[in-house]
Structure 1
Amino acid sequence: MIANKLPRLSQPARMRSLADDLLLWSPLPLLLAAAAWRWQNTLAALLVGVAGFFLLTVFAWQRARRFDRQWLIRQLDAQRADMEDSTDLLFAEDARLNPLQRLQRARLQQRLAEHRTPDLRPAWSSSRIAASWIAGALAVATLVFWPARQSTTVLAPSAENLPVVAGVPRLVGQRLRITPPAYTGLPARDEASLDAKAPQGSHLRWTLHFEPQPIAADLAFHDGTRAALTRDGEDWSVARSLDKSVLYRVSPSGAEHQPAPPLHRLDAISDAPPQVKVLVPERSLSLVTPGQRNWALSFEVSDDYGVAANAQLRITLAQGEGENITFRERTLDLRGTGTGKLKRFSPQLDLAALGFSTGDDLIAQLTVADNRAPRPQTVRSPSLILRWPSDLGAESTGLEGMVKKVMPAYFRSQRQIIIDAEALLKEQRKLDTERFAARSDAIGVDQRILRLRYGQFLGEEAEGGARPPPTNDAETHDDDHAQTQAEAATQDEHDHAPASEEAKPAFGADADVLVEFGHTHDHAEAATLLDPETRATLKQALDQMWQSELHLRQGHPRQALPYAYKALGFIKQVQQATRIFLARVGPELPPIDEARRMTGDRAGLARRELPLAAKNTGIDAAPAEVWRALADSPHAAKTTELPLDALERWLRANEARVSDPLAFVSAIDAVRRDPSCIECRRDLRGLLWTVLPRPPANVLRRSDEGADGRRYLEALGQETRP
């Protein structure tokens, strides 16, 4: 029992120490709370008080932890002589004590049970507590009851020019302090006017003075929000962040029945994104020069407030040709040189390290940001291309036409046919004979479609595009062949119009025979877009496609593969063609009927009357009505009824059509405040003119040119409309 009670002997001492420290130092957080209330507000005082007492409790508890076991041993040895400086034996483990120490501990326990334990709690710090509370009370009373300081702020006189009415508060002094965002590097400034322009995100603080003092005051913004002013001595102040351009007015309480104060305007200047200029190279597409090992780039970046010190250069390496084009991207971190608002980034790219070789394209693009916080604006430069062209073959010359260097984009599907055929051969053991032949035939159809598509570039006929003349010795085709011919007609991409049943050609007419059974492809410029060498290579590819299609349609893909590979090889050669010849096509005007020239015969000519545009009614009725009502006249100042409410509703619904909506709101408010103000009405009318629809242009009536002209016009009017 004695062993269990010993650790609890220090608990009263800890509680006494905790209470003593709390009483001794409590005036300090109270004093801090009073100071926060005096210089800030009640909420700040409450937060400071709660935080102060929390910290004081933590401090007092840490001090109370000094009353531990060692302190208890020292106190028992000092205050009780019968402990014989052996109190530490009471807390020792029994296994570590020898028989003599156990005997001594038993004697000490018996003495503790027979005699009352002394009071070990420390004494109260009464004098210190009293002095602390007296000093704290005096300090708090000084803060609370000290007279409010007189305003020493220098304010500019108000420019609202409101009439002086006894007992009605009016603005007499004003100051607007503008603190731009830190990233702009602009200093804070004071404005004497309540109208200002500042960077977007600036911190604004108004300091206003009224005579007489109102009960309350606020700033009323045009979007319906309000910011309450806080009284600070003889002045009133409020702070707000400038996120967008706004209109506002100062509204003190007690002046509701007086003329409304004028609107003030705050313009938020948006941060422009950085501007990137490419200095080197001068052109976006560059060709590798012989012996070139490096690619020098140089970018100049400017910003209105500052450019980030680092930028990223994205490098894309395009390798291969045709279907085998691969892309590899990497990003390099660059550090610019120059001033904060103008930096230059000049990287040197090692072509060998990037794996740049013949036939490749190297694309570089700079990504840079400004120093706007918290969301920087990021822009990208134009893409710069360094091209290492492949070896160029002999170029054809002497052909009619314009030459345009371009890589044909049509030859892309022969490799897929080879892939499908090889995949079919791998699955041959798993498929039955009929299924294998059907899939081989389907691949053959794809080969045929591809062949027909390539044949168009040589001016060849598409199967099914035209029929041979009817003869009595024509071969009879079975249904399957007829179906194949129908499919070929579907794939013919020459856009031949189908024959109409109503306009059936007459038998024996030369022109009708050509239309029905012919297929014109003999025009030199319409038949081809390729030079002769490329056409010859493509013709060899078509011949191999014929053989590949033959074996695929017969169900022998293994025999078709060699021809398909040869066709692919020829197509690869066609891909290296560097010129496509475009025909010189002039305008094709309808022929002129010479027999009707200078006769005045207008038979069969339709009237060329232009349709009149529908009148726009209703959408701009409000601006037009107010514009007419604001017309300058001797009686304009006496006009009292203006549809300004309808104009405001129209403005809210059509803000996108107005270049400066705030100017409209300000002009409408000025006219509403003083309807007799000629200058205000003129300003609003000028703004309305910019949104009114333009009237259609009127055509001046020309002269009738005398009696002959009148007779001619009368004759035209008597004509029967077609």
Structure 2
Amino acid sequence: MSAAQRIGEWHARARRSRAAYLACVCGVWLLPLVALVARFYGAAPAWIAFALGAAAVAWRAWRGAKALDRAWLRRRLDSLRADMDDSADLLFADESALGGLQRLQRSRLQRRIETAPASDLRLGWNRRALAIAAVCALALAAAAVLWPPSRAQAPAPALAPSPPIAAAPGQPRLVAQALRIEPPAYTGMPAREEPSLEGRVAEGARLRWRLRFQPQPAQAALVFHDGERLPLRRDGEDWSAQRTLAKSALYRIDASGAPPAQARRLYRLDAVPDRPPQLRVLQPERGLTLLAPGQKAWPLAFEASDDYGVAATARLRITLVQGSGEQITFRERSLDLRGSGGVRAKRFVHRLDLAALGYAVGDDLIVQLSVADNRAPQAQTALSPSLILRWPADAGSEATGIEGMVKTVLPAYFRSQRQIIIDAEALIARKRQFDDATFVKKSDAIGVDQRLLRLRYGQFLGEEAEGEPKLPTSDSEDDGEHGHDGEAGAGHEAPPPAAHDDHDHGAAAAKPTFGEEGAVLEEFGHTHDHAEAATLLDPQTRKLLKAALDQMWQSELHLRQGQPQRALPFAYKALGFIKQVQQASRIYLARVGPELPPIDESRRLGGDRAGLARREDALAPATAADPLPARLWRELDAPASQPVDYAALERWLGANSGRVDDPLAFAAALSALRDRPECGECRARLRGLLWPLLQRPASAVRARDAGDARDRRYFDGLPREAR
């Protein structure tokens, strides 16, 4: 074994010995530490203390072993071995940097290490100190475990005096009371003392009652409105109990031998639920944003608020939609945003680099922010509305046959009726900024949009679209027949073929034959029997759509005349009809014809209906109103001597708590009436709570008035006149 290997082995043995010694010296104190924590704080904190203490002992042992570095090793070799000639540092020096005499001395030291017996470089253990530490630790642990608990009580907060209650001598009465409320830790609210034993409490709060009776009862408990009993435990002169409030409750104090007035007193605890966080979008202002020319980034800003606190970070989900048609792909990723602001309100701001996300022409970028609150153990989350950044479609241009004339291609969408109203109102508000000609021109442009929308909705009724004359291009077969275009030709009568340019009637290759039925229909009529283009609407829906088109006509009329303020009432009426049409049901014809199974000739005209479903719609049974509330309401109107079915009302309240605005008010009124059946005010209060729950009876058919003698003579004469 070489000298370097032997020295490394001695060094490692010394480090292990040092680490073991320090672990023993420090580890013995873990026992009293765990015993003390377990005595005063319980088992769970004791395990945590043990884990932390063990980690501290391991860290101390590692640091002690690491302190035995190479410098310590050189000093240790020089001090323990005289044959090192105080030159142990030559063993760890770079040989290339040594002189001739130094290399000679180095080789001599290496031969001595290789031939000499093994050296024990370990530091000695202080057994006396280790024994003293072990004895002290064991004594402290034994004291923590075996020491009897102290009977001395820490001074508790003073109890508030209870309202005086008339009681007979010897009856236990409540003389002092206090309710300690400890809200959940995540709320950040401090604990408080409530002397009245009732109030509004955060959901999940820890409640501790302390009551004092005089004289002391044999036993006492808290009885809740749902029948649960929470026993009170006597602690000296006081009685105490603890509970976590999960929902609102009514309770009373039940002490053996207590006066009836005290036993009837109800206390109310309202559990205030933790509301989910509220999220508001600050930027952008709209859900759909079109990419501006030259835009490189998309700024986003959100504001989140919560009643107890918003989480420090939020998650931004980013979806990139690429492609079109059936070749659409989705790419999703998430970012964690850190908010700024206070505990209950935070602001989340981020700028998306469009180039880094791969945003290109025709893509959609969709983002949504998710924010959580600090509720424990399960946090509540809120989602923002989806925000879309859209690359605007290229409008493009289409050249016509005339040199230098370009016609802009309209986008594939048409304006909505609501947008027309918005544009008209904006034009009216800015009327003073334009002269008369410009104002009329802009109003006419809105009227054109109204016309396009009217034609679009008119297709659903099978109306003929207004023909648009063709441009006088050189490739047109009837150049001379269309010397006008656009709206300028509205006052001229167009030839029949041009009046229906929006229909595909096929090519007129041959001259129609006189008297031929198909030729007459082709020349003077139109066939609208395309199954894929037809829409079936019920009569009511067609009536609404026709009314909407009539209002659009009037709106377009005034807009084209430069009177948008007179067009607005008709536009609003059209919008109302359109909304009703959108809510109506529409039936679309199938694209392909039905393929019916072949008829079984053996069953024809046989009268066998086995396996055939009934064509009549089955009548669904009507849901009868619950008779119990009405019956109880009538029972409460009876004299006080008549019994009331309290148990039925309690069962009904338990099964229909969602229909009741304030179930605790019902429970309090029911308890008061049960304690005092002769109380008329209690009956009236309970009847008032039941009244909104009664179902309104269906209207009955009213008999026709028989009329006077003149009317009867008239009706009697009708049969004779019919004969």
TM-score normalised over the length of structure 2: 0.49
Structure with the greater alpha carbon radius of gyration:
1
TM-score normalised over the length of structure 1: 0.49
With a CA cutoff of 8 Å and minimum separation of 6, indicate the structure with the bigger relative contact order.
1
